[in-house]
Amino acid sequence: MPLQNDLILRTARGEFVERTPVWLMRQAGRILKEYREVRASVGSFKNLVQTPELAAEVTIQPVDILGVDAAIVFSDILEIPQAMGLPYEMVEKRGPIFENTIETVADVEKLIIPDPETELGYVMEAIRLTKKGLNGRVPLIGFAGAPWTIFAYMVEGSGSKTFSKARRMLYTDPMTSEALLQKITDSTIEYLKAQIKAGADMVQIFDSWAGILPPDQYQEFSVRYLAQICHALPEDVPVTLFAKGAFFARQALSQLNCQTIGLDWNMDILESRRIIGPAKTLQGNLDPCVLYGSPETIQEKTIEMLDKFRGSRHIANLGHGVYPDTDPEKVKVFIQTVKEHTMKF
């Protein structure tokens, strides 16, 4: 089925587009009552992720309801550590909790590199069902967590303000740290390749905890592994890197074999373009809190952002996942503003 709307793919590749494509991180889920109904029917977040028919359904919802230019498969970055042998529970108001954590090289050796079609078959099936359901309307984005971010959860065992337990290992046991990062990287490469084979038209790598490392450690314990992933994926599938908080790594990321770099809302657009250069597409970066404002505020701030990206490769998005208590009608104002305003560019 050829794509009827491939704006985001052409933008990622630096080709001509009629207008700026737009989607939202976390668009599937959270804010939509239609999502909450499906979620309630199945009990837990994890059940939903592991039920391909329903995961596909909530993946497609924002395409129908919000009018975004891409779908992103409904899943979680923590499916990978789980498939490697470290299961987690998603605890309401606390986030993910791992029963076991990685402390020694023996713990790393016990982890497997999962076969995506078996251990992560539910994600592949969700992708296939989504592609069928989308029927060529918009491209489908696959995704994974960056090795550093997955490492942080696997060593810390939960979310954290400082991830000081995970970061401690980088100083006290760099060998084990590297062994774990390499195993996550190998698993992630297989996982993303399988997502692409199952139908993902582009992939995004989320380095959610990029911003807690010193610049030299970020280079050594994150960029090095991101480079491997970018290098290993098929040339014709655009890759997006989103390293939240890693303002100090924008230049390093611009050297990697990816098409798009995500900006968070702290990063100045013109400065980022200067640092990254013209050869990458930039994605982002409206402050998610703008969507709490009036329609007029949303229009004004969105246009302000779009005008700063004007004349260079841009995928419109927020600078972070949409916040759970955002009114979907406000999201529509954002999307409509992107579509209308950039049509005039």
Say whether 72 sits in a helix, a strand or coil: strand
If one asks whether residue 297 binds a copy of itself (CB under 8 A), the answer comes out as yes
ω into residue 266 within 30 of 0, thus cis? no
Residue in the block written with tokens 């970066």: 285
The answer to whether residue 153 is catalytic is yes
Q: Please enumerate in sequence order all residues whose Cβ is within 8 A of that of 271, keeping only pairs 6 or more positions apart, or say none.
A: none
CA distance linking residue 287 with residue 321, whole number of Å: 10
The answer to whether residue 26 is catalytic is yes
User: Which of 184, 180, 182 shows the shortest CA–CA distance to 169?
Assistant: 180
Stretch that binds a copy of itself, among 127-135, 197-205, 230-238, 315-323 (CB under 8 A): 315-323
Minimum CB–partner distance for residue 9 and a copy of itself (Å):
29
The region, left, alpha or beta by phi > 0 then psi within -120 to 50, assigned to residue 30 is left
Minimum CB–partner distance for residue 27 and a copy of itself (Å):
17
Site for a copy of itself, residues 143 to 172, rule: CB under 8 A? 162, 164, 167-168, 170-172
The answer to whether residue 19 is catalytic is no
Q: Which residue in the list 35, 153, 218, 225 is annotated as catalytic?
A: 153
In terms of CB distance, is 292 or 345 closer to a copy of itself? 292
Phi then psi dihedrals of residue 243, to 5 deg:
-105, 90
In terms of CB distance, is 235 or 325 closer to a copy of itself? 325
Q: Which residue in the list 6, 10, 26, 218 is annotated as catalytic?
A: 26
CA 298 to chain centre: 23
Site for a copy of itself, residues 253 to 292, rule: CB under 8 A? 265-268, 287-290, 292
CA distance linking residue 13 with residue 10, whole number of Å: 5
The residues binding a copy of itself (CB under 8 A) are: 162, 164, 167-168, 170-172, 211-215, 217, 245, 247-248, 265-268, 287-290, 292-294, 297, 319-320, 323, 325
Just list the catalytic residues: 26, 30, 39, 76, 153
